[in-house]
Amino acid sequence: MSQSVKEDVNKGHHVKTQTGLWDKFLDTRIRLQKAVSIANRIPQPSVYTKYLEPDLKMDIQETKNELKELMDSLIELRKDLCNENEDIKINKNVANNHMQEIHDLFLPYRTQTIEKWSNKVQITSGIPLNKKFKTINQGVNTQIEQLLNDRERLIKRTQLKRNSDKIFGKEIFDDSDFYQQLLREFIESRMIDTDDYAISGISG
C-alpha cells in the first residue's frame, strides 16, 4: 500500500470517528430538550422557597449532586480529548472549576482549526482565498468574534417565549430555533445512512 493510500485511509478513519462523535453529541442534545423545556417552569430564586415542599429537599439535593458529577465528567472528558491532541497542551492538574483556564488553552487550536477547514471548503468550492467573504471582507473567525461580542443580543434570542408553557419569572432559556436546525441535520444524516445502506444492499 502506497503512502498516499495509507494517508487517505487514515483520513477516512478520522472522518468516521468525527462523524460518530458529532452524531452522539446531537443525540445527547436531543435527549436533553425535554429537560431544558421543563427547567423554564422551575420557580425563580426570589420565590423558590414558596414552592419548596419539605419532602422534596432530599430529592433536590440528590439532583444537584448528580448534576455536579455530570459536569465534572464532561469537563474531564474535554480534558482527556484535548490531551490526546498533541497540538493542545492542558495540564491534567487544572481544577475542574477553572473552566475559563481550560477554555483559554483550547482557544488557539480551535481558532486555527476553524480557519484551516474554512479555507479547505472554499478551495474545494472553487472560491479563491483572497475572495472569501468578499461582501464584507472578513474571515470566518472575525465574523464569529463579532457575533460573540454582541453577547446581549445573543442572550435575548434565547429568552424569547416561543410556546404556551407556563413560565415562572423572566429568566428563561429557549433555543428552539437552533435545536430545530440540529434536529433536521440529525434526521437528514439518518436518512442518508439509510439510503447508503439500501444502495449497498442492492449492489451487493
Ordered by start, the domain boundaries in the chain are 1-40+173-204, 55-169
Could you please report the per-residue DSSP string of 36-68? Answer: HHHHTTSPPTTTGGGG--GGGHHHHHHHHHHHH
pLDDT at 165 over 70: no
**pTM, whole model, 2 decimals?**
0.60
* Non-local CB neighbours of 170 within 8 Å, separated by 6+ positions: 44, 159
In the predicted structure, residue 179 carries a pLDDT above the cut 70:
yes
Cα separations (Å) of 84 from 74, 81, 90, 145, 169?
A: 15, 5, 10, 27, 43
Confidence of residue 136 (pLDDT cuts 50, 70, 90): low
What's the mean pLDDT in 13-28?
A: 84
Rounded to whole angstroms, how far apart are CA atoms 56 and 41? Answer: 16
Q: Taking 90 as the threshold, does the pLDDT of residue 69 lie above it?
A: yes
Neighbours of 23 (CB within 10 A): 15
Question: What is the pLDDT, as a whole number, of residue 65?
Answer: 94
Would the pLDDT of 92 be above 70? no
For residue 8, give the H/E element and its range: helix 3-39
What's the pLDDT at 62? 92
Inform me whether the pLDDT recorded for 24 exceeds 60: yes
Q: What rounded mean pLDDT belongs to the chain?
A: 78
Q: How far apart are CA 20 and CA 17, in angstroms?
A: 5
For the chain, what percent of residues have pLDDT higher than 90? 2
Higher pLDDT, 44 or 193: 44
Average pLDDT over residues 182-204: 64
Which of 106 and 122 is assigned the larger pLDDT? 106
Q: Residue 203, SS3?
A: helix
Compute the C-alpha angle 185/128/9, nearest 5°: 55
Which of 28-32, 89-93, 195-199 is the least confident region? Answer: 195-199
pLDDT at 202: 46
